[in-house]
Structures are given as C-alpha cells and as structure tokens.
Chain A
Amino acid sequence: MFDIVSFLVSWFPIFSIYAILALCLNMEIGYTGMANFGLVAFYAIGAFVAGYTSMTIFLSFYGYNYPIYSLDAIITMGKIAGRTPWLNISVFILSLILAFLVAGLAGYLVSFPTLRVGPAFLGITILSFGEMLRVFMKHFQPTGGSYGLLGIPHPFAWVSDPLIKNLLFVIVTLVILILVFIYFELLANSPYGRALKSIREDEIASLCLGKPVPRIKAELLFVASGVSGIAGALYVFYLGSVAPDMFVTAVTFEVWSMVILGGRGNNMGAILGALIFSLLNRATAILNFIFLDLLIDPNYIRWMITGILIIIVLMYRPKGILAEKTVKTDAWRIFGEAQRDWDRITAMIQVANRYLKRAFHWLIGRETK
C-alpha cells in the first residue's frame, strides 16, 4: 500500500534540495545569463564541508581521535550521534553556515578569471573545475577518498521516533527552501535584479550604464554557489553519508533541465521544474521495483522522458512552463499597475516570520521547563 507519510519524508527533502539548486541556477542563468555548467561542484563542496565539519566536531567533542573516515569513527558515531541534542543542532547550523561560506568563496574564486570575458568561458571553466574536484576528492584521504564519509550525525538523531525525526527534517528543508525563495524573489524584484537582467541581455550595454558588471557577476556567483553549498549540506544530513561519485556532471544537467522546463527567469518555475523532475525520479525508481526484469536501467528511461518532456514543453511554451515576468518594483505603481507579486511576497514574509517566532518560543519554552 502506498504510504503517503513515508513517501513525503523520503521524497520531500530531495525535492527541496533540488528546488534550492534550481533556484540558484535560475539566478545565474535565468537572471544574469551566466551559464554555470559546474553547479555540482559547489553542491559537492557544501556536502563535503558539512560532512567533514560535523564528523570532526562530534568525534573530538567526545574525545575520540580516530580519522573521521575510519570504521571506528563510523561505529562510534552510531553510539554518540543521539546523545546531545544541542550539539546536533549547533553542528547542523554551523555546517550550513560553513557550507555557504566555503562554496560561495569557491564560486567567487573559480569564476574570477572569467568574469571579464564572455559567458562560454565561465561555463566551461566551472564545468572542468567540477570534474577535477570530483576526481581530486576520490583521492583525498582526509574525507575518505572514493568511499567518502559515513555516519554523519542527523540533526535530529536524538529523536527516538524515526517518523518524527524525518518529519522534523522535512520541516527544516521546507523552511530553508522558503527562505531561499523569498530572498531570491526580493533580490530579483529590486533594482539589483533589474541590473542582473541587463547583464543577461547585453553585458556591454550594461557596463555603459555604469553597472560594475564583473563585480555584480562575482557577487551573484558567491551567493548562488553558497546557497548551492547549503543544498549540498542538507543532502549530506539527509543521507548520512557523502562520497565523490554522488557529484557527477549529470547532476548539473538535471538541474538545468528543471530550470529550462520550469521557466528561465522565474523562481516559481524553477521550483515547479524541481517538483516535476523529482516526481519523475520517484516514478522511474518505482518502475524498477514493479518490473524487476526490466531490460534497461530506469535511469535511462528517466533521461529519455526528460528529453521528450523538454522538447514537448519548449515546442508549445518556448519560455518554459512559467514564463518570465517583469522586474516588479514600486516603479510600476507610478504607472498605475498593481503590485500583486510584491504584496504576495510581503505577505509570505509576514507568515514565515510569525511561524519562525512561534517555533522559537516553542523551543525556548521547552528549554526553560
């Protein structure tokens, strides 16, 4: 029987993680016209930073000095992961912050030499960086080489009921997804977002209107790569492990498919693309169980469907399912145009704010009891 809750807890985090990646790529390619063909690199960096940080802190907190990739470490983590809730939560938060900073910095540094030249250079440079990084990580012993790291402490490992533990994680990924969405919507619908689009349309003309194009590109790569790093960290905490071969180039193109299908330059579109493809993933994985003697790998079926879907959608909707919208700032008010989008965002922020406050009070209340 189809169990909706267990489907939710296994599917939703993956969906959120992909949606966050799609939002990042959308800011880069959809808004700014930067063809990031190596998105997976920053996702991987976030993942390894989170894995490394959490394992190291946990083991040293409990006074063990096994290498974090050793069998001893994995076994020990199984014993200590659920003992100290505050440590789990703090390590989780710290890991997300570090993943953001390190991945963001990497995005900035890798792209720096290419910011003054055309978009093709940027794309190819990052693409090869991603592959190089993966191969390097396979031989980098401190994070376990090609086996990677296992036994990474779940942020809610201290919750005894696995269902609640997983539901809590669903909530966390949902909150992060919403925050990323709101932040990117705010950026996109501001004079800054307008400048981003001008770079996409015509870099030279943008430069001639005084926009510091290389700096803006670098800033955006920092932010988007950093947020991709957060997605990587979430993935690691979801799986409890991290290994180099999780970060093949195909991941980047999967995210590209989401953005193209959902609608370039539309953040809702990016999320919709992630929704469609993550469901498609599930569907093809289920195929595997139903037809055990399937002759082709379900992965191939998935890629075939992906290709057909993109062709069909782009034939009828060349801009993707949800077309790009104008930059919604208050300027439109002067021309008597309502700000429905703007009002929607403000309302969302208020709601999010209220729930965050409530959650905060709930946590504080428990602590002091």
Chain B
Amino acid sequence: MIYLFTALYSEASVFIKHFQLTKNHQISTFQEFYNEEAGIRLTVTGVGEIAAASAVSSVCSIYQTTASDLLVNVGTCAGTSDGGIFLCNKITEISTGKTFYPDLLFSHDFQETELLTGMRVLDITLRDQLFADHLEGICYDMEAAAIYQAGSYHFGPHQMIFLKLVSDRGNGKEVTREQIDQLMNMHAKELCGFLEQMRQFRFSESRTELWSVERESLYLRLGRDLHCSKVMSDSLRQHLHYCFLVGTDVDAVLLDMYEKGQLPCKDKREGKQRFEELKQRLFE
C-alpha cells in the first residue's frame, strides 16, 4: 500500500482523480481518500509540521503499516529553482537543525534537491536569510521533516519518498488555490506515473509461500508425534525451515519413518532419540 500525504486538498485532487480514490467518511480528523485495489490511501494533513506529524502517526497506527508499504509526501513548496518536480535527498528541520536522509534507491526522472522545513510561511526576509547559502538550489516547505520523523516510527528510510513542486520563490501567501491546481495538473502525468511504478515494486519476498498451511500442520503433527518439549519444538521448526529453503524432500524422509513405525513415538524419551535420527537423515 502507498500511503500518500499532501498538505492541501488542491495538492491531492490529481491523485484522487487519477487513481479513482473514494472518500473515507468514517475518518473525521483528516480528509482521507482510498482505493484498496489500486493500493493507495491518501490523507490531506493540513498545513504545518504538527498537523502533518499527527496525520502520519494517526494513519500509520490505524492501518498498521508494514515493511512492504511506502510513504510518499507530495506537495508544493518555495524554491530557488524554477518549476518541475524535485525529489528530496536531504531534509533539514529549521527549528531543531536536525537533518534527515531518505534513501535514494529508486530511479526517477526528477531533479533532486535539499529541502528545509520551517514552521511558518516563507516571506521575503526569511527567504533571503535561508537561501543565501544555497544558490545552486534549495526548497522550503512546512511538513516534510515532520512527516519523516513521524514516519520513522513505522517506516525505514527506504520506504519514504518526498516529492516537491516549486510554486513560488518565497511569496507563498500570494499563491492561489487555482495556481496550485494548475501546477499539480501540469505534472500529474509524471507524478502518477511514478506512483504507478512504485506500486509494482516488491519490497520483500513473502514468507507465506515457505510456511503454507500444510507445512504448518505437518510441523504441529510432527511435534506431537515426537513428544516435543518447547526447546525441541523450536529446534524442529528451525530444521524444517532450513529444509524448506534448500528444498530437501522432507516428506520422503518422514514417509519412510512413519512406514517403518519409527513415528509416532510412544514417549518423550523415544521422541528425543527419533528427533536426532530425523535431523541426521535430513542432513545426509
């Protein structure tokens, strides 16, 4: 699932339209839109660090995010460079001076930038002060550092992506909703295309294939038939796990032992002995 966070509805609407997201009326704190099939859940956080961190924390707790999920923050920002989409490779929170580095694993066609996150809307004075040292390009927003920090409780740095579109040069108060709509629409294809690509990505191999229901019940039955103690049972599981990974024909070995009447065992003592034999046979 991709958990998408935007500060404003006008930053969200292109995704709502493209991925046909439906409003979740059961959530009242933040506006939430989702499409289970598309694997996207979008939250409009509101402006500012506290709102953003609250939304991330709330969404991640409600939906119990996993290692296969992705957090994406998309939004407009102020910047020294002209338009286009920027992927943030470094995010600094102005209030604390802390810097965060999302992983940069995925190939993309965007430009990259350093981003500063501040508590207030950028004005000309603050802009001149902050941007003075970054002539080659820097962006300023009001959420990313907070989203990263709140997200860190649930996601690794490889699961968090921050995309920013420059809407102004530090005169953010003058930017209208229509201008944001227009900017987002102008880049809708690239943004949605990137999310489509991310949806295809598999973060980790599922372990369910290794431990199917049949194998789980084989393990339980074997544990009973060997009269396993807790320690033996853990060891049995570990041996089976390894054998399943390397493709040992466990069934053939067990079938033979059952046919010979070596299994099930009559008591713990016999079970212990048979378990040693079983281990040996599995590693022959």
A binds B: no
